[in-house]
Each structure stands twice: as structure tokens, then as C-alpha cells.
Amino acid sequence: MNKKDAVKIVETLKEMYPDAKCSLDFSTPFEMLVSVVLSAQCTDERVNKTTPNIFNKYSTPQDFANMDIKLLEELIHPCGFYKTKAKNLKKTAEILVEKYDGIVPNNMKDLMSLPGVGRKSANVIMLEAFNSPQGIAVDTHCKRIANRLGFSKESEPEKIEQDLLKVIPKEYYKDVNHIFIWHGRNVCTSQKPKCDSCKLQQYCKFYKYNKYL
């Protein structure tokens, strides 16, 4: 994939999804962090149905640090893997209170040092909470599209991200995080992708391979 084609792909997707944005609901950086942690192996829709009941009473690192772990587990139970997520969220809250004066850090290194926050999550938090995209969050949709279009042959998210960053200019990082997800949900689905109606056919290795089988 060369930079010229990469930009054309991004521009095309921007035209296809002009309203693409983050689908997680939040009002503060900490709420964003909690939502991202809960979204692992869970749909954003489910997270958004779960968090209002939490944030109405517990919305700060201090609240989470002081909360009984069993209560936290109960509150986030609908999002799955609740024991691990509760443990990570409580520990993260304690770290934020003790080390960062209750403030979510606005840099990748410190974010990635928090329990339950990997590079993908840190990318999302930097973009959504601080409007400062540092890279491209590689979720299942992004991975699938990057592989199918030919951006990357890698399977590991961090390696895929590095391949994407080589050809996508930084000014597009914010858009890519959203439009790849929307395209993955609407057209380039895991099962039965809508290739015949996709506007990226001319760039897509997956389409060309299957077309000429």
C-alpha cells in the first residue's frame, strides 16, 4: 500500500461516513477510561446501557477507589469478564488518586501503565478524551479492514498499527479511528461482507482475490 492510495481510501471512507464518531458515551476523561476498559470483549451498545447507572453515583477515580470490589463487580457484570475488569478499574482508580491527584494522564506512556489499558485503549482515550490522537486504535474491525485492503499482512494489532502509520498521514489519525469501525460494521463485515456495493473495490486485495477465484 502506498501513501497516495491510502489517502484516497481514507477520503472515500470519510465521504461514506461523514457522521462517524465514537459510539461510547462519556462526559469526562475518567468516564471514557472506564467505558473503554468495559468495552473489551463487549459491545459499545451494552457498555452504554451499563454505565449510566454507574456514573450517576460513581464518576470519579476517588469514587471507584473507595468502592467495595463486590459492588463494582455487580455494577459492571453485564459487560462480561467482570471480575478482571473490576479488579483493573479499582486498581487504576487507586493509582490515579495516589499518583496523579485523581486526574487521568494525557499521554500514552502513563495511560498504558494503568491496569487494563493497552495501546489500543490508550489510543482511544487520547483521541476521545483529549482530542490528541497519537496513533490508530486497532480493534477487530480495523484489523480486518487493514488486512483485506492490503495495508498490512500482520495479525498482531501493534504491528498492524505500525504499517498503517507508515502510509496514513497524521492529520487523518482522528478520522481513521472512526471510519474503519463504521465501515467494518456496515460494509466490510466479518461474515458476508458487502463487497459488491463497496466503493473501495479498486483498492481491495480481498475483493480482487475473491472476484477472480
The yes-or-no answer on residue 199 being catalytic is no
Give Cα separations from 122 to 130, 138, 174 (angstroms): 11, 11, 14
The yes-or-no answer on residue 120 being catalytic is yes
Give Cα separations from 87 to 6, 157, 180, 205 (angstroms): 40, 24, 31, 42
CB 168 within 8 Å of CB 5: no
Catalytic pick among 120, 143, 163, 175: 120
Cell numbers linked to 4 = 497516495
Catalytic pick among 44, 63, 101, 139: 139
CB 184 within 8 Å of CB 141: yes
Q: How far apart are CA 116 and CA 88, in angstroms?
A: 6
DSSP states of 61-108: HHHHHHS-HHHHHHHHGGGS-HHHHHHHHHHHHHHHHHHHTT----SH
Residues marked active site are found at 120, 139
